[in-house]
């Protein structure tokens, strides 16, 4: 029996997600060995994401292990991945997407002047665009840590991904799930990506969910077209019919949304908006 070494971050959520993915691989006759790997995003839990690299901070070490042959498969939250695949690696399968929405924990609605915790520039921008009186405070850590810090710091609420809370059986913590029209999700949010070395897609191809691949690929293409040099918060989401993207100032002073069928063109349009805004 072929043994697949499956790389995963070591957090409770990451291991829960990887255990689920591993079960799908076992059904195809593979023996699976989970290999926890610590990423730069896990080691530094205090610095803002912008200081350690907004995207990719939770995947880089997993990708290196895959390229070096220390693991055979890497499991990622698709939203943590960079907008393009690392050389020599491909996403062999996207598992069926779960709830992509952002969740408000600690309150059932937004109220003026609330203190809200989040480390996400995307969430911060959209919250402040909705209500500039909100006080957004930086909040890092795994899900359990952030839920505890909300209470310790006396925050009115925090914003997390619904899918992570659901996967850990913590859905009861959610007071409100933001419709994507209220808060556009991160590209890939709600989906798990199984990454392999190029040419080894056959190992995981049976687990691929084609509709999720179509939607997430479009979302990632928007972000890729905007490019890593753009520091403004960006987001993209495909609801199965319509592709929507946004770009904004981190302080919420301006926010622009666009829709379209061509992901690359949509990303270039966002980039032009950012340039015009300076």
Which uninterrupted H or E stretch holds 107? Answer: none
Instruction: Name beta bridge partners: 59.
Output: none
Helix 263-277 / helix 210-226 crossing angle, nearest 10 deg: 30
Q: Which residues are catalytic?
A: 79-80, 122-123, 140, 146, 230
- Asked whether 104 and 172 are in contact (CB, 8 A), the reply is no
Tokens of 101: 């929405």
Which of 159, 229, 9, 185 lies closest to 97, judged by CA?
Answer: 185
In this structure, how many other beta carbons lie within 10 angstroms of the beta carbon of residue 245?
27
Among the residues of 171-262, which ranges form H helices? 210-226
CA–CA separation, 168 vs 77, rounded Å?
Answer: 14
Residues 6+ apart with CB under 8 A from 138: 48, 117, 118, 119
- Asked whether 77 and 106 are in contact (CB, 8 A), the reply is no
CA–CA separation, 3 vs 35, rounded Å?
Answer: 12
């Amino acid at each position: 029996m072929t043994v697949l070494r499956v790389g995963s971050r070591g957090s409770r959520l990451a291991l829960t997600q990887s255990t689920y993915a591993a079960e799908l691989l076992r059904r195809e006759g593979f023996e699976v060995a989970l290999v926890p790997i610590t990423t730069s995003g896990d080691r530094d839990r205090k610095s803002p994401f912008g200081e350690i690299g907004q995207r990719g901070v939770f995947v880089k070490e997993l990708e290196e292990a895959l390229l070096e042959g220390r693991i055979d498969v890497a499991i990622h939250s698709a939203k943590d991945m960079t907008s393009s695949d690392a050389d020599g690696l491909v996403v062999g399968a996207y598992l069926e997407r779960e709830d992509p929405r952002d969740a408000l924990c600690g309150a059932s609605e937004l109220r003026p002047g609330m203190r809200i915790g989040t480390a996400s520039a995307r969430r911060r921008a959209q919250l402040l665009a909705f209500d500039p009186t909100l006080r957004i405070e930086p909040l890092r850590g795994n899900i359990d840590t952030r839920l505890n810090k909300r209470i310790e710091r006396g925050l009115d609420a925090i914003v997390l991904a619904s899918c992570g809370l659901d996967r850990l059986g913590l859905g009861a913590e959610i007071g409100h799930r933001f419709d994507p029209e209220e808060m556009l999700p991160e590209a890939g949010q709600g989906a798990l990506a199984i990454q392999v070395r190029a040419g080894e897609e056959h190992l995981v191809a049976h687990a691929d969910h084609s509709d999720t691949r179509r939607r997430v690929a479009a979302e990632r293409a928007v972000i890729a077209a905007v490019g890593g040099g753009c520091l403004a918060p960006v987001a993209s989401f495909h609801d199965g019919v319509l592709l929507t993207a946004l770009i904004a100032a981190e302080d919420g002073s301006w926010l622009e949304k666009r829709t379209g069928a061509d992901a690359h063109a949509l990303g270039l349009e966002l980039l032009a908006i950012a340039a015009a805004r300076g």
